Amino acid sequence: MDELDVVFDAVATYFSILAEPTRLRIVHAICEEEKSVSQIVEALGASQTNVSRHLGLMHRAGVLQRRKDGNQVYYRVADAAMVDICRTVCNRIAGQMDENKPLRRELLRLMPATAGARRLKP
Provide the sign of the torsion angle of the four alpha carbons 34, 37, 38, 42, taken in this order.
Answer: positive
- Looking at residue 93, its pLDDT comes to 80
- Looking at residue 118, its pLDDT comes to 40
Residues 78, 94: Cα–Cα separation, whole Å: 25
Candidates 55, 47, 1; CA nearest to 26 is 55
Q: Are the beta carbons of 52 and 37 closer than 8 angstroms?
A: yes
| SS3 at position 78 | coil
For the chain, how big is the Rg over CA atoms in Å? Answer: 16
Question: Is residue 115 scored above 50 in pLDDT?
Answer: no
- Looking at residue 87, its pLDDT comes to 87
Q: Are the beta carbons of 107 and 94 closer than 8 angstroms?
A: yes
How confident is the model over 39-84, as pLDDT tens digits?
Answer: 999 999 999 999 999 999 999 988 999 999 999 999 999 988 888 8
**What domains lie within the chain, and their CATH numbers?**
2-79 (1.10.10.10), 81-112 (no CATH)
Give residue 116's pLDDT band: very low, low, confident or very high (50, 70, 90).
very low
Question: What are the Cα distances from residue 78, in Å, to 3, 4, 88, 101?
Answer: 27, 26, 18, 33
The mean predicted confidence, pLDDT, of the chain is 84
